[in-house]
Amino acid sequence: MSVKVLVCGSILAPIRELLREEFEVLDLPADAAAQAAFLQTPPADVNVIVTLSHVPLIDAALLDRFPNVRLVASFGVGYDQVDTAAAVERGILVTHSPGVLTDEVADMGLALTLAALRSIPQADRFVRDNRWETGEKYPLTLSLRGRKIGIVGLGRIGSAVARRFEGFNVEIAYHSRSPKPGVPYRYFDSVLALAGATDTLILTVPGGAGTRGIVNAEVLKALGPNGVLVNISRGSVVDEDALIAALSSGTIATAALDVFAHEPHVPDALKKLDHIVLVPHTGSATFATRLAMAKLVVDNIRSWAGTGKVLTPVPETKHLN
């Protein structure tokens, strides 16, 4: 079966080459005017859309422009940029790329926690600015010793984060929709209760309406003045205004953020806070993992073209598989 793929978003050259080896590939223009012109007379024979987790919504209006699309393949574990209800209504499968990025993102969760506690980016700037050389003393930092780690979302990534922290001899607890059988960590039935019982909150839940703003002013207050917030999930999970207020007032001590509410825009109020850590959504951004994700996207398209079924459908569209 001949497959024509529309790529929505900027992908790395090696990933594009993987797609081009097997499929005809078109690009949705990034420029707004060019994109509007493209969508006025879109190619009718596109049957697969490949999307990245940070591009605009793949919604009913876009899908209606491509009536022959039968598969939307999301490059990433998150797929909140895809209107899955609209896809289901049109009989369109949606896939994502879970599993292959679990360890990389979990590593980032651990790294960001340590970076925030030990002020590693700030210490780097201190040296580069020659402040150490001129005799200035670098201030003491927070410590991981004696910390209570709370993980919001104990799926693949949350569980991998927990395993990494086990080696640091810290107390670990979690919140998810329901208790996980066989898990040795203490369960809390709400994010607020978890925040009240811990001092380091690590977010690993998916985005979407069900998790939007679950970390709000009340949760941050419960985390306390010694509290650390680490977000490796989606920016939508956190009330960004409440977080800025909490960091500015000392309601919590610090934060480390890999994701933001309106990427790539990061509020100036966050950028001005020198005691936090900000990185540009790079949790899975290594050569090895990006290639593994790309291979899974290609494998899903190949499987669909050959059998009509995919390897990793999102839960909402599994019944179509």
Read off the pLDDT of residues 52-80 as tens digits, 9 standing for 90 and up: 866 768 999 999 999 999 999 999 888 98
Q: Are residues 162 and 182 in the same domain?
A: yes
Q: Are residues 135 and 211 in the same domain?
A: yes
Q: Are residues 93 and 12 in the same domain?
A: yes
Q: To the nearest whole number, what is the mean pLDDT of the chain?
A: 95
Closest CA to 95 of 50, 64, 46: 50
Q: Are residues 250 and 128 in the same domain?
A: yes
pTM > 0.75: yes or no: yes
Alpha carbons within 13 angstroms on the beta-carbon side of residue 16 total 11
In the DSSP assignment, the letter for residue 213 is T
Q: Are residues 307 and 245 in the same domain?
A: no
- Known catalytic residue at 263: yes
Q: Are residues 96 and 106 in the same domain?
A: no
- From the list 96, 175, 281, 290, the catalytic residue is 281
Q: Are residues 29 and 88 in the same domain?
A: yes
Q: Are residues 9 and 122 in the same domain?
A: no
Q: Are residues 216 and 234 in the same domain?
A: yes
Neighbours of 221 (CB within 10 A): 18
Q: Are residues 119 and 193 in the same domain?
A: yes
Look at residue 16 in the predicted model and tell me its pLDDT.
85
Alpha carbons within 13 angstroms on the beta-carbon side of residue 247 total 23
- From the list 54, 96, 175, 234, the catalytic residue is 234
Q: Can you give the CATH number for the domain in which 78 is found?
A: 3.40.50.720
CA distance 264 to 201: 23
Q: Are residues 150 and 291 in the same domain?
A: no
Q: Are residues 64 and 108 in the same domain?
A: no
pLDDT band at 319 (very low <50, low <70, confident <90, very high): very high
- From the list 263, 275, 302, 316, the catalytic residue is 263
- The range of the structural domain enclosing residue 123 comes to 102-278
Q: Domain total for the chain?
A: 2
Phi, psi of 151 (to 5 degrees): -110, 120
Residues 225-239, mean pLDDT to the nearest whole number: 98
